[in-house]
Amino acid sequence: MSTEQFSVDGDVAIVTGSSSGIGRGIAERFAEDGVDVVVCSREQDNVDPVADEINDSDADGEALAVECDVTDREAVDALVEATVEQFGGVDVLVNNAGASFMAEFDDISENGWKTIVDINLHGTYNCVQAAADHLKDGGGSVINFASVAGQRGSPLMSHYGAAKAAVINFTTTLSYEWAEDDVRVNCIAPGFVATPGVESQMGVSADNIDREEVARRIGTVEEIADVTQFLASPAASYLVGETITVQGVPQISEEHDV
């Protein structure tokens, strides 16, 4: 059976928010498959080790670390320029950078609300618009990151859920507008994932997760990277404007006879 259609070898990808967790996992997976990848976060010291580890490994792809705050348009423009200067273009853009905090809606200040929307929604806008010309030059792929909180809402996450719901809608609209430019735009809405941050807060370690177990509600970074690579690859050529929910067993309402 051929598996070449799942390969992204030879592409150039930008992965935002890639100093750790899901973003780092995606960058490492891409590099293993021959993608030259640009990793970025708000602190250079946080992404330098990621790039160094990739470049010191047996991965076929190279890595470049760039400091970038996705809410700063000038910094995002510089990120894209550095990518093109180093690797010659941009084929894949993964908008993974995001942030949140838990609070009742009544306790969220205007500044807190704007901060979360700015990072999760406006940051996505900045990156997509800055990379637009390069993505359209020969066709490319945009993979936005939303959340199950943006699909069904989540207590204490009204600001985050609202921003991620907007990312989902943005994905649908942009996919329609950019289809004639041969750019596929899709979205991933992760559920509970065992990232280092989750482990430190909740004590759930990825080492204790069996990927073959179907009946579970927590995934691994590697499983999100699998879906991301699929969306970036030719195997997903007929997937346009979709949001893929990656959450394990779905939450459903169970009715019982009284």
Angstrom distance (rounded) from CA 121 to CA 163: 6
Angstrom distance (rounded) from CA 168 to CA 179: 17
**CB-based burial label for 122 (10 Å; 0-12, 13-18, 19+):** middle
Known catalytic residues? 160
Are 233 and 33 a contacting pair, CB within 8 Å?
no
H-type helices in the chain, by residue range? 21-32, 44-56, 73-87, 110-117, 123-136, 149-152, 158-178, 196-202, 221-232
Token pair of 175 as six digits: 């996919």
Angstrom distance (rounded) from CA 92 to CA 18: 14
Are 79 and 42 a contacting pair, CB within 8 Å?
no
Angstrom distance (rounded) from CA 90 to CA 58: 23
